[in-house]
Structure 1
Amino acid sequence: MIIQQFFTKKIAHSSYFLGGDKTCAIIDPRRDADIYIEVAREMGTRITHILETHLHADFISGHMDLAQKTGATIYGPRSANYDFDYVPLSEGDSFELEDMIIKVLETPGHTPEHISYVITDMSRGKEPVALFCGDTLFVGDVGRPDLFPGRAEELASKLYDSLHNKIMELPDTCEIYPAHGAGSLCGRAMAAKRTSTIGYEKKFNYALNLNDRKKFIDSLTHGMPGAPDHFGRCTFINKQGPLKIIDLPPLKELEPFEFSSLAADTSTFVLDVRNFEAFGGQHIPGAYSIDIDSNFPTFSGWLLPPEKDILLVSEGYEQAVEASIQLRRVGLDRIYGYLVGGMYAWVTAGLPTGHVPQLSSHELHQRVMQGNVTVLVDVRSVSEYDNFHLHNAVNIPVADLRKRYVELDPAKETILICGSGQRSSMGASLLKQKSFEKLFNVAGGMRGYAAAGFGPECPLCALPWASFPVKSNMQ
């Protein structure tokens, strides 16, 4: 038995290769699925099984693409009622993959239809050795049960039963392979460690040590981070069966005047994926700024209108292609084309641009000390803001600016700050769409402010996934 993990950064998604000598299964594949075919070829195995644990909310699954390319059979929860051909699985069902027996546990809680796969390697013994638990159990955390309106307490109770009556009954030595790690919004406080064992989680997982059902439910139904807009869309797309990538139109190359004409149409919008400093220097008026070095797919799924065509501004073709891959991971398939020659071609064509002046930590501190800040908007999550924020800063998380911009006065000078400068640039682009012009972005954000010695270090901002507004247990 061979297990190999594939970790997709930014969406913090883990998928898996489960192989024997000649055949293998892929568990919870990502949409750009060629990576699994390449590894199977290297291993000398054939992909025969595609196993889905549940209807994923935060990304588009690659089950349809992988099945088309390999001829493998898709397996998934019976109660998911997929709109395509698959093998429906229920509690107690089992099947074989060479020397391995794969048994199904129904583990609802994160979602109503969730199942987990228990693996027994009969060449070693009769005791379960691995659990592919999807989003039921994570390292240091459990799946959030609040993604279905009005059902949070019901699903939290079911999650309690799934964990205590099924998963924790497995041997302590059984290895667990979850579908997400730190940085995902499918849980609240996942550890950076990507795999674990049942025994380790029994000892160190805070949720598994909440043995009182009511306390467990309360813990998972209060203070959870916000759920991005695309979570509901991805669930529906995965049930329906995503469009295959091969069937999507190619990325068009657009000259400045053609790009400008298309951008003026209400059926399109401009997405600038360059770093936030470049956006601040020159950008196309009305463009969204989502730095590709930030948690790009999640914020794109959260902030962008899915019903419109996307026009990309990038540093070049390769960056536009990478942006397209990440956009498709969250179900944003309407990518029309990119600006050939980037902003250099745009400005040399004599077309108009916008700007967002960038303030350094020192410039901000000087303004704060002199009382020259009219409005300071902290666009980080509530938990980050509560951990440490600047005096008189107003907290409006970046996604909330789409509606809460009415709380701000476009006539006043407004400075935006986040952990690094990325989310605040997103916020500036949203406000500019609402006719705010007196905007400044703090380059380096709270991390830079702390590094300059003007405030304590924010432990959340310093994390490698800090551009992702997760709820922390470090408070």
Structure 2
Amino acid sequence: MIIEQIYTGCLAQGAYYIESDGEAAIIDPLREVHPYLQRAEKNGAAIKYIFETHFHADFVSGHLDLSRKTGAPIIYGPNANPEFDAIIASDSQEFQLGRIRIKVLHTPGHTMESSCYLLFDESGKPHSIFTGDTLFLGDVGRPDLAQKAADMTQEQLAGMLYDSLYSKILPLPDDLTVYPAHGAGSACGKNMMKETVDSLGNQKKMNYALNQPSREAFIAAVTDGLLPPPAYFPMNVALNKKGYQSVEGVINRGMQALSVAEFEHLAAGGDVLLLDTRTSGNFASAFIPRSINIALDGQFAPWVGALIQDVDQAILLITDPGKEEESVIRLARVGFDNVLGHLGGGIDSWIKAGKEVDKVHRISPAEFAAEVKIGKDVVIDVRREGEYRAEHLEEAYNKPLDFINDWFRDIAEQGHFFLHCQGGYRSMTAASILKSRGIHDFTEVGGGFAAIASTTSLPRTDYVCQSKLQPVK
């Protein structure tokens, strides 16, 4: 028996390859399916089943392309109603894979169709459980995503999740290996561990959600502190449920290298987003006016979904040479398929053509410490509220990047301000968005709060700075 976790860090997502006696199954595959096909081919195995734990909201699954290429059926748990052929399994239904068995455990709560898959080894002993978004390491799936579809409140869904976990998961053996669909960094939970595999026994000890004294306490605990889900989540659910175009066509279109003239023509042709995926440092030194920087060297796809929101948005790419296909694929993972092409030769070709460029005034933490006057200058911290509340610069105001579409107007009349995040990734994204909207009178701090705290003596605190600059959300 072979079990392999195929983890994608930028999405904090785990897909799974399972093999026994020449037969393989894939659980929660990503959009690009070649890695699974190649893995099976390497071992001379045939992919027999494609299991989906639920209709994913944070990424577009590869179930349809993988099924078309292998002939393997797609399997969901009870209550799923996809608009394509699939096996809708009943609770406790089992599937034979070589010399092992996989049992469906219907565990509604995160969504109504959410199911876990319990694997029995060759001896018939429970070996591992693939928990999807029902059970994470350190957390459980958020119960607020399926409210509209289920016509239920998040409290009702949380109660259903409690019933699923406490009646079907907790009674299982402690030595069972837990394989979740996500880890730390995913927006599908709020308290996930950085580890991606654990024993069920350890989760019973340390997972706050599995240690609540009552159903009511569980509901209160898992619904407390939930941030609003990213706006693109419902669109990804729809794609996973209804179907989508093959990823090969998306890649082929996005891989069209455009001349400067072609790029400029398309950029001027209407509602087209110029997306620059280079590092924040490279972007700061020279970029095409109105382009937005969401760099590949971070949580690229989730930030694209959170900030761009509309999966049908037409996109033109500016990338580092050699990063074009990676940019297109990572966009496709979250359903952004409308990439019209990329600037051939990257930013260098634009500069060589004598076209206009802009730049971001970025300074080092030492320069920031020498220039800033705490209490007099405006300092904007674009980290999330929890990060800000833990510690921040004295008199700094919290404006999370997640909600920049709500607050950018608030600072348009403030005059000059300083801008930072934790490490420089999010603040450069914020800087690019502000500049695209005509706000230029600011200085961005490279290295962010981490570098400021470790290399300067600027005063820090955990009290909340109250003013009209406080976040809208």
Q: Is the 8 A contact 1:410 1:436 kept in 2?
A: no
CA distance in structure 2 between the partners assigned to 1:135 and 1:370 by the alignment: 44
SS of 1:10's equivalent in the other structure is: helix
Aligned letter for 2:193?
A
Residue of 436, 439, 447 corresponding to 2:439: 436
Structural mapping, 1:342-421, within 5 Å: 342-369=346-373, 373=377, 375-410=378-413, 412-421=415-424
- Scaled by the length of structure 1, the TM-score of the pair is 0.92
Any idea what the Cα deviations from partners look like across 1:72-99, whole Å, max 9, x if unmatched?
1111124120000010112122221222
CA distance in structure 2 between the partners assigned to 1:405 and 1:75 by the alignment: 44
Match of 2:193 in 1: 191
RMSD, aligned α-carbons: 1.9
CA distance in structure 1 between the partners assigned to 2:106 and 2:438 by the alignment: 51
1:302 aligns with 2:300: no
1:456 to partner: Cα distance = 8.9
1:372 to partner: Cα distance = 5.8
CA distance in structure 2 between the partners assigned to 1:277 and 1:410 by the alignment: 27
Any idea what the Cα deviations from partners look like across 1:383-409, whole Å, max 9, x if unmatched?
001011112222111121112112113
1:438 and 1:86, CA in 2 relative to 1: closer, same or farther beyond 3 A?
Answer: same
CA distance in structure 2 between the partners assigned to 1:148 and 1:394 by the alignment: 34
Match of 1:145 in 2: 143
1:371 to partner: Cα distance = 5.8
CA distance in structure 2 between the partners assigned to 1:455 and 1:366 by the alignment: 10
SS of 1:61's equivalent in the other structure is: coil
Residue of 252, 256, 260 corresponding to 2:256: 252
Q: Is the 8 A contact 1:411 1:438 kept in 2?
A: no
CA distance in structure 2 between the partners assigned to 1:371 and 1:93 by the alignment: 64
Structural mapping, 1:102-117, within 5 Å: 102-117=102-117
CA distance in structure 2 between the partners assigned to 1:70 and 1:457 by the alignment: 57
- Scaled by the length of structure 2, the TM-score of the pair is 0.92
1:370 and 1:144, CA in 2 relative to 1: closer, same or farther beyond 3 A?
Answer: closer
Q: Is the 8 A contact 1:283 1:353 kept in 2?
A: yes
1:410 to partner: Cα distance = 4.3
SS of 2:32's equivalent in the other structure is: coil
CA distance in structure 2 between the partners assigned to 1:28 and 1:443 by the alignment: 37
Q: Is the 8 A contact 1:135 1:180 kept in 2?
A: yes
CA distance in structure 2 between the partners assigned to 1:236 and 1:8 by the alignment: 22
Match of 2:277 in 1: 273
Q: How many residue pairs are counted as aligned between the two chains? A: 455
1:455 to partner: Cα distance = 5.7
Structure 2: gaps (5+ residues): 462-473
Match of 1:15 in 2: 15
Residue of 241, 244, 251 corresponding to 2:243: 241
Aligned letter for 2:435?
K
Q: Is the 8 A contact 2:284 2:362 kept in 1?
A: yes
Q: Is the 8 A contact 2:6 2:14 kept in 1?
A: yes
CA distance in structure 2 between the partners assigned to 1:57 and 1:269 by the alignment: 23
1:147 and 1:183, CA in 2 relative to 1: closer, same or farther beyond 3 A?
Answer: same
1:124 aligns with 2:123: yes
Superposed structure 1 runs of 4+ greater than 6 Å apart? none
1:9 to partner: Cα distance = 1.1
Greater CA drift, 45-54 or 222-231: 222-231
CA distance in structure 1 between the partners assigned to 2:87 and 2:38 by the alignment: 25
Structure 1: gaps (5+ residues): 459-475
SS of 1:311's equivalent in the other structure is: strand
Structural mapping, 1:198-237, within 5 Å: 198-237=200-239
1:139 and 1:457, CA in 2 relative to 1: closer, same or farther beyond 3 A?
Answer: farther
SS of 2:211's equivalent in the other structure is: coil
